[in-house]
Amino acid sequence: DQSPIARFLEKNPDGGLHHLCFEVPDLTAAIATVKAAGIRVLGEPRIGAHGLPVVFLHPKDCGGVLMELEQTAA
């Protein structure tokens, strides 16, 4: 009930797009690439819903869309 998705649905009862997730083979390298392109990373990598490392990118740097990078499983 307190998750970011729950808050999103409260604000958008008809649903909609919350974020896009892209799988990357090397999260550390992907973070370096997006930072070099001037895209802000929101916080440090953490374990996401699938038990894999994830990081989010600032929507204002991604055309207004919240982006998630998830490292693929080994």
For 33-69, how does the pLDDT look when each residue is reduced to its tens digit (9 = 90+)?
Answer: 999 999 999 999 999 988 999 999 999 999 888 999 9
Q: CB–CB of 29/44 below 8 Å?
A: no
> The dihedral of CA 50, 55, 56, 57: what is its sign?
negative
Across the chain, what does the average pLDDT equal? Answer: 91
Q: Where are the domains of the chain?
A: 17-71
State yes or no: pLDDT of 17 exceeds 80: no
Label the pairing between strands 67-71 and 20-24. Answer: parallel
CA distance 9 to 60: 21
* pTM over the 0.85 mark: no
The pLDDT, as a whole number, for residue 29 is 98
Write out the catalytic residue numbers: 68
The pLDDT, as a whole number, for residue 56 is 96
3-state DSSP assignment of residue 6: helix
**Cα–Cα nearest to 74, from 57, 60, 53, 58:** 53
CATH homologous superfamily for the domain 17-71 = 2,3-Dihydroxybiphenyl 1,2-Dioxygenase, domain 1 (3.10.180.10)
